[in-house]
């Protein structure tokens, strides 16, 4: 039986077989330090934003971690949403990932009509879907699976 070569971890500082909580924050998010890890070891990562490079680093960290690891993502929604997608790619389950979105930043709104997500930079109560141009009312329901707020057609009743 051949030994399996370990993925490179030198650049991440994460010990092989880490089974604690990985706390990744983006931008100016600072409150993640208060996140309760329930006494489990934690590994902090901080990125300025979710870029192909930083997401690649995150992928390396998650690839080096073992089953049972938990991931906490904090920062602007667009960033943590991209990071959550990487986590899903790496096999983390939805319940293993906690998203702490920065409410002050732009929100991401999911359109149920064309399944597109639109970044709402105006932080209003409505946003025009970039996929189908439907004016979406933004609900308070945040889908952790989609990493976005769910929208619905704001003027559906008026149009009928």
Q: List interacting residues with Zn ion (CB under 5 A).
A: 111, 113-114, 116, 129, 131-132, 134
Q: Could you tell me the smallest distance in angstroms from the CB atom of residue 14 to Zn ion? A: 39
Please identify, using beta-carbon distances, which residue of 33 and 115 lies nearer to Zn ion: 115
The residue with tokens 């009312």 is 137
How far the first Cα of the chain sits from its last, in Å, is 67
Distances (CA, A) of 15 to 28, 33, 40, 111, 156: 26, 20, 14, 40, 53
Q: Could you tell me the smallest distance in angstroms from the CB atom of residue 97 to Zn ion? A: 25
For the chain, the C-alpha Rg in angstroms (whole number) is 18
Please identify, using beta-carbon distances, which residue of 132 and 137 lies nearer to Zn ion: 132
Please identify, using beta-carbon distances, which residue of 28 and 114 lies nearer to Zn ion: 114
Q: Could you tell me the smallest distance in angstroms from the CB atom of residue 88 to Zn ion? A: 22
Please identify, using beta-carbon distances, which residue of 69 and 129 lies nearer to Zn ion: 129
Q: Could you tell me the smallest distance in angstroms from the CB atom of residue 131 to Zn ion? A: 4
42-47 and 21-26: which strand pairing?
Answer: parallel
């Amino acid at each position: 039986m051949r030994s399996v070569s370990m993925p490179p971890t030198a650049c991440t500082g994460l010990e092989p077989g880490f089974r604690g909580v990985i706390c990744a924050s983006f931008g100016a998010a600072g409150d993640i330090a208060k996140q309760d890890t329930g006494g489990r070891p934690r590994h902090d990562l901080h990125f300025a934003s979710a870029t192909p490079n930083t997401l690649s680093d995150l992928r390396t960290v998650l690839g080096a971690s073992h089953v049972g690891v938990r991931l906490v993502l904090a920062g602007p929604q667009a960033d943590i949403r991209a990071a959550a997608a990487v986590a899903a790619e790496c096999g983390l389950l939805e319940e293993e990932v906690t998203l702490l979105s920065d409410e002050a930043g732009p929100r991401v709104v999911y359109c149920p009509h064309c399944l597109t997500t639109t970044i709402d930079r105006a932080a209003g109560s409505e946003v025009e879907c970039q996929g189908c141009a439907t004016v979406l009312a933004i609900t308070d329901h945040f889908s952790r699976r989609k990493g976005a707020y769910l929208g619905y057609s704001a003027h559906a009743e008026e149009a009928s």
